[in-house]
Chains A and B, each alone.
Chain A
Amino acid sequence: MVNIRNLWKYDGDRPLLRGISLSVAPGEMLGVIGPNGSGKTTLVRLLSAEENPEAGEIRLGGRPLTEWSARERARQMAVLPQEGLPPTPFTVEEVVSMGRHPHRGWWPWSGSRDAEAVEQVLEETGLQSNRNRRVDRLSGGERQRVAIAKAMAQQPRLLVLDEPTTYLDIAYQLSVLDGIQQWRRREGLAVLVILHDLNLAAQYCDRLLLMKEGALFAEGTPGQVLTPERIWEVYGVQPVLTEHPVTGAPQVLLTSGEQAPAENRESAVPFPL
């Protein structure tokens, strides 16, 4: 669905991305992990055509991204930025139907036939009872659910998510990722998701891509990528790796500095910072 080849991006002469290549197939969920400042969000900005790379190419559905018009692109790809939905006075239903925008005609009155698509999404996401509530009166978790519903109404073939679970409690984290998982299975959706939580990434993603300082550090299944050595090299933290007792996915346990064995106390990010 999307192919990225040898992508370079600079901020002045400081490289933000150094020759990233990746691809996401239809129905696949690719997780991008890495420490703060490793270039994950830059990758999303290039992928959503908000910024252009200095070198390299992004192909969406086999065609260079720069050749797609904004509307055409929005019919193929939905993006949920890190900041989520702002506190807008529009109602839940109005925001979800904004997802239909790239499918609509140019006139203010066009899009009345989209009502069915919106209705279906509201039903699937369980937002019917909240349809007339204003988005700025919702909690962060509810708002994120509306953002996902808006993306569903967009009917994309590729979904790009930048840390969709960061500000949510554990119940909403699971509900958001489960919702995306079901959607992906149902529609054969390609998903590229940036996650900070390595344990969630290991459970939900088919493949993981570990980034360090703008470059690709490791790529493969969660079991291949998540090793104590790599996590130490990329994050500067000595983890304990175990296996999820139910799913068998690799899980990363962290040990507080005081409790860690003496030889592991040295950390890459010393305190005070």
Chain B
Amino acid sequence: MSGRNWLSRLTLWSGTLTTLLLFTMAAAICWGSTELGMADVGRVVASRFTGVSAVDPAVDAIIWQIRLPRVVLAAMVGAALAGAGVVFQGLLRNPLADPYILGVSSGAALGAALAIFTGMGTAVLGAWTVPAWAFILASAALFLVLGLAGKAMRTETLILSGVVVQAFFGALLTFVIAVASAEEMQRIQYWIMGSVALREWHHATAILPFLVLGLGLVWLMSGSLNLFSLGERSAGHLGVSVRRTRTVLLLTATLMTAAAVAVSGTIGFVGLIIPHVMRRLTGPDHRVLLPVSALAGAMFLVAADTLARTVMEPRELPIGVVTALIGAPFFAWQLRRSLRHR
């Protein structure tokens, strides 16, 4: 594990995980009330790219209109949440930090719920109303947390500020739900437990730019993010502009989280568990950890969504239930393990 071969570690792990991710996505598309073969999936995707259509229109519709956008969206949401989790954990030097602890997800969820409930700004923003409100309130939550934590922004105060802001935004969200009518309540319920059901291609294209630019920017800064593991003072002594780097990284991770919450609601445990597991497998170097966690997060959420929609057919579970049911015991087990090793 010398410093020079991080690139070979990255190549090996991301190659393996990309293969596994593609296989998981193909399997997820095949699995469902209408059984399809992997060959069908391949043919539909190929026909879209080549323009030659030699596929049954019904199969084409199921794959291209229904299952593929859902699977692609689940993968992107998983990648965004896991990537954001890596940044928060790395910056705060706390394996328990993630978008939820910082109150960012609750801000985004409140924004989405407000947009659905009031419809404010729909005339101007159109289809972007829900994501725009999610961004605005997630950023508000972040700035509240940063403001509360003060100029020094010590790790402990930052996390405590996150807890306070999260409690406040959570209460507001419950309030919005309480005054909402039954029909709206069902839609808002989505933002609480999270779901990628009934998603279309425009949902996927809405999150794509934030995911690609966000992950790219964070990866370019991953060398500096490594130095934060020595403490903020030492990072500063090694030439990192601590406050600027931390602000850019926090904002980027918040935008990735808000984009994910806007299209899928608050899905828990991805940003907590995935970076944790991948750190054990690939080591703490963020140049490797970030891309590898994004791929693993994508795979995890695709698998979780497949379970959510097939396990109680024809009813669907919210995906957040599945991730929490898998994630919480797993995390408890990891926590015990790390406590015993101390």
Question: Which positions in A face B, CB cutoff 8 Å?
Answer: 48-50, 70-75, 77-79, 81, 83, 85-86, 88-91, 93-95, 97-99, 101-102, 104, 106-109, 111-112, 115, 118, 131-132, 154
**Given known contacts A48-B237, A81-B237, A108-B287, is B1 in contact with A86 (CB within 8 Å)?**
no
Which residues of chain B come closer than 8 Å to A81, judged between CB atoms?
Answer: 231, 233-234, 237
Across the interface, A93 reaches (CB within 8 A) one of B2, B237, B241, B287, namely B2
**Given known contacts A70-B236, A70-B239, A71-B239, is B285 in contact with A88 (CB within 8 Å)?**
no
Judging by beta carbons under 8 Å apart, are A99 and B2 in contact?
no
In the complex, 20 of the A-B residue pairs with CB atoms within 8 angstroms, ordered by the A residue number, are A70-B240, A70-B241, A74-B237, A74-B238, A75-B239, A81-B231, A83-B233, A86-B229, A91-B283, A94-B1, A94-B3, A97-B3, A101-B223, A101-B224, A101-B238, A101-B240, A108-B222, A111-B223, A132-B1, A132-B2
Judging by beta carbons under 8 Å apart, are B234 and A108 in contact?
no
Judging by beta carbons under 8 Å apart, are B239 and A109 in contact?
no
B220 lies within 8 A of chain A by Cβ? yes
Closest B-chain residue to A81, C-beta based? Answer: B233
Judging by beta carbons under 8 Å apart, are A98 and B227 in contact?
yes
Judging by beta carbons under 8 Å apart, are A115 and B284 in contact?
no
B198-235 residues with Cβ-Cβ distance < 8 A to A are: 219-220, 222-224, 226-227, 229-231, 233-234
Chain B interface, >50% SS class:
helix
Chain B interface category by residue count = 20 to 34
Judging by beta carbons under 8 Å apart, are B279 and A91 in contact?
no
Which residues of chain A come closer than 8 Å to B43, judged between CB atoms?
Answer: none
Work out how many contacts link A and B, with CB atoms closer than 8 A: 85
Closest B-chain residue to A77, C-beta based? Answer: B237
B337 lies within 8 A of chain A by Cβ? no
- How distant is A163 from chain B, measured CB to nearest CB, in Å? 14
**Given known contacts A83-B231, A106-B220, is B2 in contact with A73 (CB within 8 Å)?**
no
Which residues of chain A come closer than 8 Å to B4, judged between CB atoms?
Answer: 112, 115
Which residues of chain B come closer than 8 Å to A93, judged between CB atoms?
Answer: 2-3
B251-294 residues with Cβ-Cβ distance < 8 A to A are: 279, 283-285, 287
Across the interface, B220 reaches (CB within 8 A) one of A73, A90, A108, namely A108
Judging by beta carbons under 8 Å apart, are B226 and A78 in contact?
no
Judging by beta carbons under 8 Å apart, are A88 and B284 in contact?
yes
Judging by beta carbons under 8 Å apart, are B222 and A48 in contact?
no
Known: A50-B236, A81-B234, A115-B3. 14 other contacts (CB 8 A): A48-B237, A70-B241, A74-B238, A77-B237, A81-B233, A81-B237, A88-B229, A89-B229, A89-B284, A95-B230, A98-B230, A101-B238, A102-B239, A108-B287
Q: Which 9 A-B pairs have the closest CB atoms?
A: A74-B239, A102-B239, A71-B239, A79-B237, A97-B3, A89-B284, A88-B229, A108-B287, A101-B238
B7 lies within 8 A of chain A by Cβ? yes
Which residues of chain B come closer than 8 Å to A108, judged between CB atoms?
Answer: 219-220, 222-223, 287
* Whole-angstrom CA separation of A101 from B234 in the bound complex: 12
Which residues of chain A come closer than 8 Å to B285, judged between CB atoms?
Answer: 90, 94
Across the interface, A86 reaches (CB within 8 A) one of B93, B226, B239, B241, namely B93
Of B2, B234, B241, B284, which is in contact with the most chain A CB atoms at under 10 Å from its CB?
Answer: B234
Judging by beta carbons under 8 Å apart, are A86 and B231 in contact?
yes
Judging by beta carbons under 8 Å apart, are B7 and A90 in contact?
no
Which residues of chain B come closer than 8 Å to A71, judged between CB atoms?
Answer: 239
* Whole-angstrom CA separation of A78 from B220 in the bound complex: 25
Judging by beta carbons under 8 Å apart, are A73 and B230 in contact?
no
B1-46 residues with Cβ-Cβ distance < 8 A to A are: 1-4, 7
Which residues of chain A come closer than 8 Å to B240, judged between CB atoms?
Answer: 70, 101
Judging by beta carbons under 8 Å apart, are B3 and A102 in contact?
no
* Whole-angstrom CA separation of A86 from B227 in the bound complex: 11
Which residues of chain A come closer than 8 Å to B1, judged between CB atoms?
Answer: 91, 94, 132
Which residues of chain B come closer than 8 Å to A97, judged between CB atoms?
Answer: 3
Judging by beta carbons under 8 Å apart, are A102 and B234 in contact?
no
Closest A-chain residue to B286, C-beta based? Answer: A108
- How distant is A105 from chain B, measured CB to nearest CB, in Å? 9
* Whole-angstrom CA separation of A88 from B234 in the bound complex: 12
- How distant is B233 from chain A, measured CB to nearest CB, in Å? 5
* Whole-angstrom CA separation of A9 from B2 in the bound complex: 44
- How distant is B32 from chain A, measured CB to nearest CB, in Å? 40
* Whole-angstrom CA separation of A85 from B227 in the bound complex: 11
Closest B-chain residue to A105, C-beta based? Answer: B223
* Whole-angstrom CA separation of A87 from B115 in the bound complex: 45
Closest A-chain residue to B7, C-beta based? Answer: A109
Which residues of chain A come closer than 8 Å to B237, judged between CB atoms?
Answer: 48, 74, 77-79, 81
* Whole-angstrom CA separation of A93 from B3 in the bound complex: 7
Closest A-chain residue to B2, C-beta based? Answer: A93
* Whole-angstrom CA separation of A14 from B23 in the bound complex: 66
- How distant is B85 from chain A, measured CB to nearest CB, in Å? 16
Of B233, B237, B279, which is in contact with the most chain A CB atoms at under 10 Å from its CB?
Answer: B237
Of A79, A83, A88, A118, which is in contact with the most chain B CB atoms at under 10 Å from its CB?
Answer: A88
* Whole-angstrom CA separation of A86 from B237 in the bound complex: 15
- How distant is B219 from chain A, measured CB to nearest CB, in Å? 6
Which residues of chain B come closer than 8 Å to A118, judged between CB atoms?
Answer: 3
**Given known contacts A97-B3, A101-B223, A108-B219, is B279 in contact with A89 (CB within 8 Å)?**
yes
Closest B-chain residue to A79, C-beta based? Answer: B237
* Whole-angstrom CA separation of A50 from B232 in the bound complex: 10
Which residues of chain B come closer than 8 Å to A74, judged between CB atoms?
Answer: 237-239
